[in-house]
Amino acid sequence: MTTNFIHVPCYTVQEVEQRRQAEFKNIFGTKKRSSKRKSAKTKTKLTINFKHGVAENIIAAIKEGNDTFGKLRKALQHTDRELKSGLRYGLANWVYKTKVSKDKKTYSLIKL
């Protein structure tokens, strides 16, 4: 009685993955791309309420002596876009009986 043995190759997980990648490269000619998408940073919506809040923060910072844009940028944790919108809102509107005014490069407050 003779027995025939069938030889079954045993591969490690790393070898199997390397073989799959090699086959994929041979078929498509490119490297396998990751399926994960990079999430794009979304910009903050510049609503009136948000601008009002930023304007309040700017008024408080100007009272502390941060009267230029660079000083405001360092003092407040907002992006340049958000600061500019808050400044424009503060220049055009009264915020709690206080308005921001601009003289060349410095900002000051006008009280009602």
E strands in 1-112: 98-103, 106-111
pTM beyond cutoff 0.75: no
Q: What is the DSSP letter of 37?
A: P
pLDDT surpasses 90 at 50: yes
pLDDT for the residue numbered 36: 61
- Give tens-digit pLDDT for 51-61: 999 999 999 99
What pLDDT score does 42 carry? Answer: 84
Convert the pLDDT of each residue in 73-90 to its tens digit. Answer: 999 999 999 999 999 999
Least confident span in 21-25, 58-62, 73-77, 99-103: 21-25
List all residues 6 or more positions away from 83 whose beta carbon is below 8 Å from its beta carbon: 54, 58, 69, 72, 73, 76
As to burial, measured by CB atoms within 10 angstroms (0-12 exposed, 13-18 middle, 19+ buried), residue 63 is exposed
